[in-house]
């Protein structure tokens, strides 16, 4: 594959929380806890916990991965290795076929080292356009945002303030005016999207059933 048709992005961060409490959060259902406004459609997740073969759809990554305000992205867990605290997802949308490797390890001081590796592979002209339009930097920003959300929740037990994430995106030199419009439209669309599982999950969480 030509260099212009794929990019590889690595991002890592340290989280001040034990490894065994961080790893389970890399799951589409558990993400209701720590990603503000997270919504998804479970396609195959019979136990509402990530396992090998879990499949779900989401739309919030569209501005990062598809260069669109709204586009479906399908995630499939191709590796789930709780003993080694790893989960890998094949990620597919209208623009790309990707592999996202999420791997955690003990940082040696009671915390967690999170290593995020994302290989973005254009599947056609739209994906190549995403890469040309600073796609590598946008993917790194996406990983940075996810890491900031996860770290804040693990260390404080609370959702990260939305304005902190908005500032992180707005101040990135990878984001153009057009991108900002896409992010805004995506936010509005996500607010309107139905997700019955999310409401049930949050109700059960508040009642101490989760």
Angle between helix 177-192 and 162-170 (nearest 10): 150
Residue 199 lies in a domain: no
- Pair of tokens at residue 188: 């509005």
Which of 141, 142, 119, 126 is closest to 67 using CA atoms?
126
Residue 209 lies in a domain: no
CA distances from 10 to 24, 99, 147 (A): 21, 12, 12
Residue 203 lies in a domain: no
Residue 101 lies in a domain: yes
Residue 30 lies in a domain: yes
Between CA 210 and CA 80 the distance in angstroms is 22
Number of domains in the chain: 1
Note down the domain range covering 72: 7-193
| pLDDT (0 to 100) of residue 210 | 87
- Pair of tokens at residue 25: 């959060």
- Does pLDDT of 97 surpass 60? yes
Arithmetic mean of pLDDT, 98-124: 97
pTM over 0.85: yes
CATH number for position 143 = 3.30.530.20
- Does pLDDT of 2 surpass 90? no
User: In the chain, what percentage of residues exceed pLDDT 70?
Assistant: 99
Residue 28 lies in a domain: yes
**Cβ atoms within 10 Å of 74's Cβ, excluding its own:** 15
Residue 19 lies in a domain: yes
Residue 206 lies in a domain: no
- Does pLDDT of 103 surpass 60? yes
- Check residue 160 and report its DSSP letter: P
Between CA 60 and CA 62 the distance in angstroms is 6
Angle between helix 125-132 and 135-156 (nearest 10): 80
User: In the chain, what percentage of residues exceed pLDDT 90?
Assistant: 96
Arithmetic mean of pLDDT, 87-113: 98
Confidence of residue 157 (pLDDT cuts 50, 70, 90): very high
| pLDDT (0 to 100) of residue 4 | 74
Please check whether residue 12 is in contact with residue 116, taking contact to mean a CB–CB distance below 8 angstroms.
yes
CA distances from 43 to 81, 89, 192, 200 (A): 21, 14, 20, 17
């Amino acid at each position: 594959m030509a260099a212009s048709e794929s990019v590889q992005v690595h991002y890592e961060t340290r989280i001040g929380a034990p490894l065994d409490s961080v790893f389970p959060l890399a799951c589409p259902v558990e993400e209701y806890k720590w990603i503000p406004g997270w919504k998804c459609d479970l396609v195959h997740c019979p136990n509402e916990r990530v396992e090998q073969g879990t499949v779900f759809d989401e739309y919030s990554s569209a501005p990062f991965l598809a260069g669109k305000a709204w586009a479906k992205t399908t995630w499939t867990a191709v590796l789930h290795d709780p003993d080694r605290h790893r989960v890998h997802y094949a990620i597919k949308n209208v623009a790309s076929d990707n592999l996202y490797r999420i791997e955690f390890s003990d940082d040696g001081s009671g915390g967690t080292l999170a290593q995020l590796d994302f290989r973005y592979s254009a599947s056609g002209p739209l994906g190549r356009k995403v890469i040309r339009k600073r796609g590598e930097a946008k993917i790194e920003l996406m990983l940075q945002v996810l890491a900031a959300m996860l770290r804040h929740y693990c260390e404080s037990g609370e959702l990260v303030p939305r304005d902190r994430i908005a500032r992180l995106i707005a101040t990135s030199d990878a984001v153009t005016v057009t991108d900002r419009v896409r992010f805004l439209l995506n936010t509005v669309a996500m607010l309107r999207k139905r997700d019955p599982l999310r409401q049930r999950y949050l109700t059960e969480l508040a009642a101490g059933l989760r």
